[in-house]
Copies of this chain bind each other. A is one copy, B any other.
Amino acid sequence: MEHMDAVFKAIDEHQDEFIDLLRESVAIRSVSADPARRGDCIRMSEWTRDQLRNLGAETSLWDLGKQQLSSGEELPLPPAVFGVYGRDKSKKTLLIYGHLDVQPAEKEDGWNTDPFELTEINGKLFGRGSTDDKGPVIAWIAVLKILQRLGIDLPINIKFVLECMEESSSEGLDKGLEDNIDKISDITYSCISDNYWLGRNKPCLTYGLRGICYYFVEISCARQDLHSGINGGSVPEALNDLMWIMSQLVTVDGQILIPGIAELVAPVTKEEDDLYDKIDFCVDTFKNETGSHGLISDSKKDLLMNRWRYPSLSLHGVEGAFSQPGAKTVIPAKVTGKFSLRIVPHMTPEATDKLVTSYLESLWAKRKSPNTFKITSGHGGMPWVADFRDANFSAGSKAIERVYGMTPDFTREGGSIPVTLTIQDLTKSPVMLLPIGASDDMAHSQNEKINRENFVKGMKVLAAYLFELAA
Tell me whether A315 and B230 are in contact (CB under 8 A).
Answer: no
Specify which chain B residues have a CB less than 8 angstroms from the CB of A367 in the assembled complex: 252
A285 an interface residue at 8 Å Cβ cutoff?
no
Query: When each residue 193-230 of chain A gets 1 if its CB lies under 8 Å from chain B and 0 otherwise, what string results?
Result: 00000000000000000101010000011111011111
- Copies held by the complex: 2
Tell me whether B416 and A229 are in contact (CB under 8 A).
Answer: yes
Of the listed stretches A164-172, A272-280, A320-328, name the one at the interface; the rest are far from the partner chain. A320-328
Tell me whether B316 and A317 are in contact (CB under 8 A).
Answer: no
A332 an interface residue at 8 Å Cβ cutoff?
yes
The secondary-structure label for the interface of chain A is loop
Give the residues from 219 to 260 in chain A that come closer than 8 angstroms, CB to CB, to chain B: 220-224, 226-237, 239-241, 243-244, 246-247, 249-250, 252-254
Tell me whether B371 and A237 are in contact (CB under 8 A).
Answer: no
**Roughly how many angstroms separate A334 CA and B230 CA in the complex, as a whole number?**
31
A262 an interface residue at 8 Å Cβ cutoff?
no
Tell me whether B306 and A317 are in contact (CB under 8 A).
Answer: no
A369 an interface residue at 8 Å Cβ cutoff?
yes
Give the residues from 261 to 316 in chain A that come closer than 8 angstroms, CB to CB, to chain B: 286, 290-296, 303, 306-307, 310-316
Specify which chain B residues have a CB less than 8 angstroms from the CB of A230 in the assembled complex: 307, 413-415
Specify which chain B residues have a CB less than 8 angstroms from the CB of A325 in the assembled complex: 319
A15 an interface residue at 8 Å Cβ cutoff?
no
**Roughly how many angstroms separate A229 CA and B415 CA in the complex, as a whole number?**
4
Selected contact of A228 from candidates B316, B333, B368, CB within 8 Å: B316
**A222-B319 contact, Cβ under 8 Å, with A229-B413, A307-B230:** no
**Roughly how many angstroms separate A26 CA and B86 CA in the complex, as a whole number?**
84
A331 an interface residue at 8 Å Cβ cutoff?
yes
Tell me whether B414 and A222 are in contact (CB under 8 A).
Answer: no
Tell me whether B317 and A234 are in contact (CB under 8 A).
Answer: no
Nearest B-chain residue to A222, judged by Cβ? B292
Tell me whether B247 and A243 are in contact (CB under 8 A).
Answer: yes
Q: How far is the CB of A457 from chain B (nearest CB, A)?
A: 25
Tell me whether B235 and A296 are in contact (CB under 8 A).
Answer: yes
**Roughly how many angstroms separate A214 CA and B228 CA in the complex, as a whole number?**
11
**Roughly how many angstroms separate A342 CA and B230 CA in the complex, as a whole number?**
10
**Roughly how many angstroms separate A211 CA and B195 CA in the complex, as a whole number?**
56
Tell me whether B368 and A327 are in contact (CB under 8 A).
Answer: no
A113 an interface residue at 8 Å Cβ cutoff?
no
A123 an interface residue at 8 Å Cβ cutoff?
no
Nearest B-chain residue to A369, judged by Cβ? B252
Specify which chain B residues have a CB less than 8 angstroms from the CB of A286 in the assembled complex: 234
Tell me whether A240 and B236 are in contact (CB under 8 A).
Answer: no
A122 an interface residue at 8 Å Cβ cutoff?
no
A372 an interface residue at 8 Å Cβ cutoff?
yes
Tell me whether A338 and B322 are in contact (CB under 8 A).
Answer: yes
**Roughly how many angstroms separate A95 CA and B241 CA in the complex, as a whole number?**
46
Nearest B-chain residue to A219, judged by Cβ? B293
**Roughly how many angstroms separate A214 CA and B316 CA in the complex, as a whole number?**
24
Specify which chain B residues have a CB less than 8 angstroms from the CB of A229 in the assembled complex: 210, 212, 342, 413-416
Selected contact of A233 from candidates B223, B252, B317, B414, CB within 8 Å: B414
Tell me whether A322 and B329 are in contact (CB under 8 A).
Answer: no
**Roughly how many angstroms separate A306 CA and B316 CA in the complex, as a whole number?**
33
Q: How far is the CB of A317 from chain B (nearest CB, A)?
A: 3
Specify which chain B residues have a CB less than 8 angstroms from the CB of A231 in the assembled complex: 290, 307, 414
Tell me whether A240 and B233 are in contact (CB under 8 A).
Answer: no
Tell me whether B323 and A317 are in contact (CB under 8 A).
Answer: yes
Specify which chain B residues have a CB less than 8 angstroms from the CB of A371 in the assembled complex: 293-294
Q: Can you sample 30 A-B contacts with CB below 8 Å? A: A210-B229, A214-B329, A221-B293, A222-B292, A226-B292, A228-B342, A229-B342, A229-B415, A230-B307, A230-B415, A231-B290, A232-B312, A232-B342, A232-B414, A233-B254, A233-B296, A233-B307, A233-B311, A234-B307, A235-B295, A237-B250, A240-B246, A240-B252, A244-B247, A316-B332, A317-B328, A319-B323, A327-B338, A327-B378, A328-B338
Task: Identify 18 new A-B residue pairs, CB closer than 8 A, beyond the known A222-B290, A222-B293, A227-B414.
Answer: A221-B293, A223-B290, A224-B291, A229-B416, A232-B414, A234-B254, A234-B286, A234-B290, A234-B296, A235-B296, A236-B254, A236-B294, A240-B315, A314-B329, A316-B328, A317-B318, A327-B338, A328-B338
